[in-house]
Structure 1
Amino acid sequence: MPHETPPVAAPLPPGLPSGLPAGFDWLSPFGASIGSDGLPDFGDRRGEAAAALSADVIAPLADRGTIRVRGADRDAFLQGQLSSDIRELTPSRGQLASYSTPKGRVLAIFVALRHGDDIWLETSRSLLADTLKRLRMFVMRSKVTLEDAGAEAISIGVAGPNADRVLEAAGLLVPSVLCLCAEVDGIVIMRRRGPQNRYSLHGPSERLAALWPKLAAHARQVGTEAWRLTDILAGFPALHPETREQHVAQMMNIDQLDGISFTKGCYPGQEIVARLHYLGNLKRRMFVGRSQTGTIARGAPVVLAGGEGQSVGDVLDTALHPDGGQALLVVLQTSQQESTALRIGSADGPELALLR
């Protein structure tokens, strides 16, 4: 598809990086620049968001980073730290997992993949350093090494009604089942959850850079936020510094997404997670919503109009919606899921409409 020359990017607010994120500097000749959120876009945020919902698109997942886990005890170590059953992680199947405090509050969410002899844990780049530091505290005498994989393991996304053909045209395999993985020349392709075909590609920066123009010949280039919009509408949980240690994994629907094993044994927070599961007294869940007005911040409280301002939930993630306003992930009291009086920030703040 032909692409218009993007407009000159507006000056960045103070504190945001001036260059493309590490591992994605090769995007500059393709017209990528840094958007107002510090992440790559191609100069047309609303148009990119619209394309992400209906057309074939490719996107840099520059808000993600990867922890590489290696060593003879890697599986046993992660089995004692994460909510998923690492024994079920294979080269052909990835999995969702959470990492929590002993009190069950989620510290990080991972997409786990096997890559050769290593395990890759894709997570929010904004949480990677703190998460890596905490995991290392528990290595002790285990034969395990954990490190930030940096540009050796970055991710790009491919989505759309013909996304399978986009991959095939670039010489890649197409996993047919959710979480199924395939590998071609050191690049792992994983099928992602969503209302339309979505795939993520994981591998070294230089290999994905060489692959990008082959994909761009058949799909529109869109920014990181446009991909985040598809994540939100797919109900894929997100965690950022503003919402870290605020919720138990089930409140973020990680159990419904097969990210929790209730038979694997102990890990941090397991007792709390199991109690909620077996007693059935979970009072909050994650929902997909829309706000037609305002700029919503992560961590903003959800309150009731006409109420006393008491929080009944909070915002996990936001992304620009092409029809106006923002798409949202919110954690909300389940007793309020039918309410038409939900507001964000304050009792007279922007309205929140739940989509599901």
Structure 2
Amino acid sequence: MNNLTLADNASAALGFPPGFDWLDTVGARLGADGLPDFGDRRAEAAAALASDVVAPLADRGSLRVRGADADAFLQGQLSNDLRELTPTRGQLTSYSNPKGRVLAIFAAIRAGDEIWMETSRSLLAATLKRLKMFVMRSKVQLDDAGSDVVSIGIAGPNADRVLDAAGLLVPSVLCLCAEVDGIVVMRRRGPQNRYTLHGPAARLAALWPTLAAHARPVGTEAWRLTDILAGFPALHPETAEQHVAQMMNLDKLEGVSFSKGCYPGQEIVARLHYLGNLKRRMFVARTPAGTVVRGAPIVVAGGEGQAVGDVLDHALHPEGGQALLVVLQTAQAEAGDLRIGSSEGPAVDVLR
């Protein structure tokens, strides 16, 4: 069992996250970490890697941005070029502090006259508060979309057929979006077919039985496993403001534009890009056993105990232990014995 924070305990006490209170009617339960599953997380993780699955993305929330100056405002705050965000093309982007350290990572979608920015629910309130500080006289409104915009995921070898059975369009290209009756489908990165659905909670709840008839329901952590193995990062309070965008491969994931105008941290990001002196990158890894917490240092066994990286995220692996995203010194990625926490901590096997 993972270590729980006070926020995790509070989430469990309050019940299902906002917009997902309907999950108890479809057989979901709430885990001790405040996230829903369907009774067997390890089996659900195995299903997520081998078959068609549908998952509530209950650890995600969305910022909603609207107003005449919405595009101009976000263009001056985020790492990607908002001019390339269209109703049929979403994008990955990030928000950093002036030192270039990433505060939040977003999947951005244009829906009518609004922009929806999906991010970690645990960072949503703090990110919203910070962005509002810079609105000033701009004609822009920012709020927590709450149950007006929630997300579920569909993955698997026949995920396109699952969408088709539900009467939804199937985006054919990474980050391509398709809207049907208020529900936006976005194709996501991954070795298998992966899509996310975004829209009002009531609409997605009504659609769930159809999706579940063609794909196995799995919990939020099982979906996070597919994110991790796809090399798709997420930030949490323990890991926010620790890394520059390139250290989490956001440049490789097309989440950074090097030709747009200024934004917080842009000078640092550009310097790393053009000078080519980046010393840390994100890697997919695995640990066979032991307790893992986000932000835990990674050290070289037998070394001096100095951290050479840290754990960005983790999720149960069906073959035991945890799948990991880790940020490491590139010189240490293929080094000998890496451990979490201390020289006696769980081993880290870097996969790619």
Q: What band does the TM-score fall into relative to the shorter chain?
A: over 0.9
| Cα distance change on mapping 1:240 and 1:13 into 2, 3 Å | closer
Please state whether the residue corresponding to 2:187 is helix, strand or coil. Answer: strand
% identical aligned pairs: 78
**Secondary structure, aligned partner of 1:228:** helix
Structure-2-length-normalised TM-score: 0.97
**What is the SS of the residue equivalent to 1:49?**
helix
2:83 is aligned with 1:116: no
Count residues in correspondence: 345
1:290: which partner in 2? Answer: 286
Query: Are 1:58 and 2:54 counterparts?
Result: yes
Is the contact between residue 9 and residue 34 of structure 2 (CA under 8 Å) also seen in structure 1? no
The answer (yes or no) to whether the contact 1:32–1:43 under 8 Å persists in 2 is: yes
Aligned residue identity for 2:246: Q
Please report how far the alpha carbon of residue 244 of structure 1 lies from its aligned counterpart in structure 2 after TM superposition: 0.8
Could you say what secondary structure the match of 1:29 adopts? helix
Residue ranges of structure 2 left out of the alignment (5+ in a row): 1-7
Q: Quick one: which amino acid aligns to residue 237 of structure 1?
A: P
CA contact (8 A) 2:54 2:211 kept: yes
1:337 aligns with 2:349: no
Residue 95 of structure 2 aligns with which residue? 99
SS in 1 for 2:94: strand
- Which moves more between the two structures, 215-224 or 32-41? 32-41
Measure the CA separation in 1 of the matches of 2:347 and 2:114: 46
Provide the rounded CA distance (Å) in 1 between the counterparts of 2:274 and 2:13. 46
Which among 261, 265, 272 is matched to residue 269 of structure 1? 265
Over the aligned positions, Cα root-mean-square deviation in angstroms equals 1.0
User: 1:91-136 CA distances to partner (integer Å, 9 max, x unpaired)?
Assistant: 0000000100000000000000001100011000000000000000
Residue 166 (structure 1) aligned with residue 168 (structure 2): no
Q: Which moved more, 1:331-340 or 1:156-165?
A: 331-340
1:137 and 1:125 map into 2 onto residues whose CA distance is: 20
Q: Give 5+ residue unaligned stretches, structure 1.
A: 1-11
Matched, 1:176 2:172: yes
Shift of 1:44: 0.7
Pick from 339, 343, 348: which aligns with 1:352? Answer: 348
Q: From 30, 34, 48, give the equivalent of 2:30.
A: 34
Residues 1:299 and 2:292 aligned together: no
What per-residue deviation string (whole Å, max 9, x for no partner) do you get for residues 259-279 of structure 1?
Answer: 100010100000000000000
> Offset of 1:21 from its aligned partner?
1.2
Helix, strand or coil: the match of 2:115?
A: strand
Distance 1:18 1:230 in 2: 27
Cα gap change, 1:18 to 1:130, in 2 (>3 Å): closer
SS in 2 for 1:90: coil
- Alpha-carbon shift at residue 22 of structure 1 (Å): 1.3
- What residue identity is the alignment partner of 1:250? Q
| Structure 1 SS opposite 2:264 | coil
- Aligned residue type for 1:300: A
Matches within 5 A, 1:63-82: 63-82=59-78
The residue identity in structure 1 corresponding to 2:218 is: V
Q: What corresponds to 2:228 in structure 1? A: 232
Q: Distance in 2 between matches of 1:240 and 1:262?
A: 25
Instruction: Check if 1:153 corresponds to 2:149.
Output: yes
Aligned-pair CA distance for 1:37: 1.4
Q: Which residue of 2 aligns with 1:7?
A: none
Distance 1:137 1:243 in 2: 22
CA shift in 2, pair 1:13/1:264, >3 Å: closer
Deviations 1:36-91 (A, max 9, x none): 21101011111100000001000000000000000000000000000000000000
How far apart are 1:20 and its partner, in Å?
A: 1.3
The answer as to whether partners of 2:281 and 2:327 remain within 8 angstroms in 1 is: yes
TM-score of the aligned structures, taking structure 1 as reference length: 0.96
Q: Provide the secondary structure at the position in 1 that maps to 2:198.
A: strand
**Pairwise mapping of residues 109-258 of structure 1 onto structure 2 (< 5 A)?**
109-258=105-254
Q: In structure 2, which of residues 19, 36, 43 is the aligned counterpart of residue 23 of structure 1?
A: 19
CA contact (8 A) 1:340 1:353 kept: no
- Give the secondary-structure state (helix, strand or coil) at the position aligned to 1:352: strand
The CA distance in 1 between the partners of 2:180 and 2:11, in whole Å, is 39
Q: C-alpha separation between the residues in 2 aligned to 1:62 and 1:305?
A: 37
Shift of 1:340: 2.6
- CA drift of 1:15 comes to 6.8
Measure the CA separation in 2 of the matches of 1:36 and 1:355.
29
Deviation per CA, 1:187-220: give whole Å up to 9, x if none. Answer: 0000000010000000000000010000000000
- Kindly state the Cα deviation for residue 28 of structure 1 after the two structures are TM-superposed: 0.7
Displacement after TM superposition at 1:13 (Å): 5.9
> Does the Cα contact within 8 Å between 2:11 and 2:34 map onto a contact in 1?
no
- The CA distance in 2 between the partners of 1:24 and 1:13, in whole Å, is 17
Alignment partners' CA distance in 1, 2:268 and 2:314 = 28
Cα deviation for residue 17 of structure 1 reads 2.5
Counterpart of 1:326 (choices 316, 319, 322) is 322
**2:294–2:314 Cα contact (<8 Å) kept:** yes
3-state SS of 1:17 partner: helix
Cα distance in 2 for partners of 1:15, 1:93 equals 33
